[in-house]
Amino acid sequence: MGIFDFLTGEFIDVIHWVDDTRDTMVWRFEREGHEIKYGAKLTVREGQSAVFVHEGQLADVFTPGLYMLETNNMPVLTTLNHWDHGFKSPFKSEIYFVNTTRFNDLKWGTKNPIMLRDPEFGPTRLRAYGTYSVRVSDPAKFLVEIVGTDGEFTMNEISYQIRNIIVQEFSRVIASSGIPVLDMAANTADLGKLVASAISGTVAEYGLSIPELYIENISLPPAVEAALDKRTSSGIAGDLGRFTEYSAAEAMTEAARNPNGGGMGAGLGMGMGMAMAQAGMQQGPWGNRSAAPPPPPVEHVWHIAEGGKSHGPYSKAKLGQMAGDGSLTRDTLIWTAGQDGWQRAEDVQELAQLFTVMPPPPPPAA
């Protein structure tokens, strides 16, 4: 082996990157003086890209594979350095390895409530949070727009900016969707797709993409949630009366859990118990029931005694007709069930009014 071959072999270098940090997006291959030997082997693994920067200028992007850094596959650097066909000296360049795999389970959430106009509740506020994934889709653009000369760029350095973009677009999408708050839980998948689509254009300018975005929860302010809980409890109770019973029972249970509450707790429990008992008596076990109307009065039927015989029974309406044609007089003996013996029709209070319609017979002429 000649001295030339020996020196050439000594200059052979292997350039590669194995990431074990789980959050590194870009890593710069470090070499003293940034000297890379001619003929070096560049290994780019799956899920990586290698970006060459020569004298501050982006020269080339290598996708996964094995490369020999020489004139036949680096025409840009060949033009810049004017390499000879003889002894090839090292060239000064920088190699940035870019992680192109997905970064998953990244968190996002609204720092402040989002104001919107709900079709059912009117103006209201809500919060939301979820997860998303991000990946580098354009290594060259990502290096130029975001990384710059950072030798080790991690996901934490860009996650805050992406969260701001997500929250901004989520606020716009949720306010213009027209979906009622109570129906949003059933539409989180569609809302997530809408938000991911809305932010795709913005993050694409950074050389990134958002493959997935999930909305885990959408919540209302505590006061509104408390009102909804009461409304739900009332709906379960069925009506106001049953909800009163439910509330009274809850108060009594709470009072029982606090035996040291003294007379005040006992008095509260007794008051609630009496109110619940009274409500139960009025409403019954199956909800609010209005008081039953009184039974209609029993219509009496009457018997008439004439010539030692009784005949009938006659209704009051029939007796009124008989009073009108004179077949029933004030002195006619009348009896009905429950009456103590025969009485003159005039003496029976229920029938006395029959004889006030017609005037009594005139007195005989003097």
pLDDT tens, position by position, 192-233 = 888 888 899 999 999 999 999 999 988 887 877 787 777 776
Same fold, 103-220 and 302-355: no
Q: What is the rounded distance in angstroms from the CA atom of residue 47 to the CA atom of residue 60? A: 17
pLDDT tens, position by position, 308-356 = 888 878 888 888 888 878 788 888 888 888 777 888 888 887 777 777 7
Mean pLDDT score of the chain, rounded to an integer?
77
Domain boundaries, the chain: 3-99, 103-220, 223-283, 302-355
Positive or negative, the CA dihedral 222, 226, 231, 237 is positive
Q: Identify the bridge partners of residue 248 per DSSP, sorted by sequence position.
A: none
pLDDT tens, position by position, 41-68 = 889 999 999 998 877 788 889 999 998 8
Fold category of 302-355 in CATH: Dna Ligase; domain 1 (3.30.1490)
Q: What is the rounded distance in angstroms from the CA atom of residue 134 to the CA atom of residue 211? A: 6
Domain 103-220, CATH: 3.30.479.30
Per-residue model confidence (pLDDT) at position 332: 86
Q: Identify the bridge partners of residue 95 per DSSP, sorted by sequence position.
A: 52
Angle at 172 between CA 170 and CA 177, to 5 degrees: 90
What are the b/e assignments for 52-64, b being 16+ CB within 10 Å? bbbeeebbbbbee
